[in-house]
Amino acid sequence: MQDNHHALRSILIIALFWGILAGITKSAELSLTDQTLQAIEDCISRTPSQWPEEWKQEYIETIRKAIELNRDASHYVVRLEILGNGFEPYWQSFKKTQERSLFDVHCARIRWYVEYLMGSEFPTKEERRKLRDQYTDTWDYASNSLIEQFTFLDPNTVQNAKQDDLIICYRKIDAPLIPVYMRPMSEEQVEQINQRWENLRYARVDLLRHLGDNSTTLVDSRDAPSPNAERDYELTKESLSQLLGLVWMVVPQRPDYYLNALENRNKALKERFQSKRNARSDQQRLEKESSRQLLQTEHISFLLAALLETPQCLEGTPSFITQEQSPLEQQDKTKTSAK
C-alpha cells in the first residue's frame, strides 16, 4: 500500500514537472512571438512611410493573426526567426503610399507570406539544397541564352550580374519569407520556366531599346573591359527579373483574398484613370467654349469700334461732285465759288 502511495506520488511529481516545463516552453514561445512582432513594429517605425498610424497597426495586427493561426506548427521558433530576419529587406522593397487599395494589397500579401511560412511543410536541408541548385541551373540557362541572343554582350559582365542576382536568391532561400523560396520545384515546372524564357526573346529586344543604346560593339579580348559594361549589366539584371516573374507563374497558388485585393486595386486604378480622362475631356470642352466666346467677344468689340468711328469719318470727308449733277448745277456752283 505504501509502495502504491510512493508510485502515485512519483507520477504526480513527474506530471507536475512536465506541466511546468510545458508551461515554460509555451511562455517562451509567446515571448518570442511578442519579440518578433516588436522587432517588426520597430522596423516599420524606423522607416519613413506615408501610412497613417492606424494603417501601421492594422498591418502589424494582420501579421499577428497569421502567426496565431499556426501556433502549433513544427519548427515554430525557426519560422519566427525567418520572419524576423526577412521582414526588414522585404519592408524596404516596396512603396508605402496613401492609397487604400494598394495598402489592402500589401496587407493581403504579407498575410499570404506569413501564413505560407507558418503553415506549410517546413523544408529540409536536402529540399533547400535542391531549390538552390534549381535556381542556379535556371539562372545559368538564362544567362547563357542571353549571351547567345545578344552576341555583343560582354560574357564577364553578364556572369557578374547573374552572380549578384543569385546571391540575393540564396539569401532568401536560407530565410524563405517569400513563398517562391520555400519549396523546390518539379521538373515540369523548371521546364515551363525555361520555355517561357525563350518565348520572351522579343521582349528582351524591346528592353534593350528601352535602355537607349543599340550599339553592338564586340569585345576582342576576354580580358579587355567592355565599353558598354553598364548597359550589359543593366540588361542582364532586368532580363533576370523577368525570369523571377516566370518562377512566380508556376509556384505557388495565390489565395483568394490576395486575388480579391488585386482585383479591387485594378478597379480603383481604372476608376482613377477614367476620372482623369473625364476631367481632361471637360477641360478641353471648356477651353473650346472659352475660345469660341473669346472670338465672339472680339468680333463684337470690332463691330462696336467700327460703329463708333463711322460718324467721325463722315464728318471729316471732303465734298465732291457726283456723276448725277447736271452741267448747269456744276456751272452755278462754279460761279458761286468765283464770287
Residues 174, 155: Cα–Cα separation, whole Å? 28
Residues 206, 213: Cα–Cα separation, whole Å? 11
Length of the chain: 339
Cα(first)–Cα(last) distance of the chain, in Å?
Answer: 173
Q: Tell me: the pLDDT tens digits for 143-157?
A: 999 999 999 999 999
Q: What is the pLDDT of residue 57?
A: 96
Q: What is the pLDDT of residue 271?
A: 87
Q: Tell me: the pLDDT tens digits for 238-275?
A: 999 999 999 999 887 899 999 999 999 999 999 878 87
Average pLDDT of the residues of the chain: 82
Residues 87, 60: Cα–Cα separation, whole Å? 12
What angle (nearest 5°) sits at the alpha carbon of residue 59, between those of residues 69 and 251?
65
DSSP string for 194-240: HHHHHHTHHHHHHHHHHTT----PPPS-SSSPPTTHHHHHHHHHHHH
Tell me what the mean pLDDT of segment 23-45 comes to.
Answer: 78
Q: What is the pLDDT of residue 266?
A: 95
Decide if pLDDT at 276 tops 80: no
Decide if pLDDT at 213 tops 80: no
Contact 91/140 with Cβ under 8 angstroms? no
Q: What is the pLDDT of residue 315?
A: 58
What angle (nearest 5°) sits at the alpha carbon of residue 255, between those of residues 252 and 261?
125
pLDDT band with cut points at 50, 70 and 90 for residue 22: very low
Decide if pLDDT at 17 tops 60: no
More confident residue, 125 or 317: 125
Q: pTM score, two decimals? A: 0.69
Q: What is the pLDDT of residue 304?
A: 75
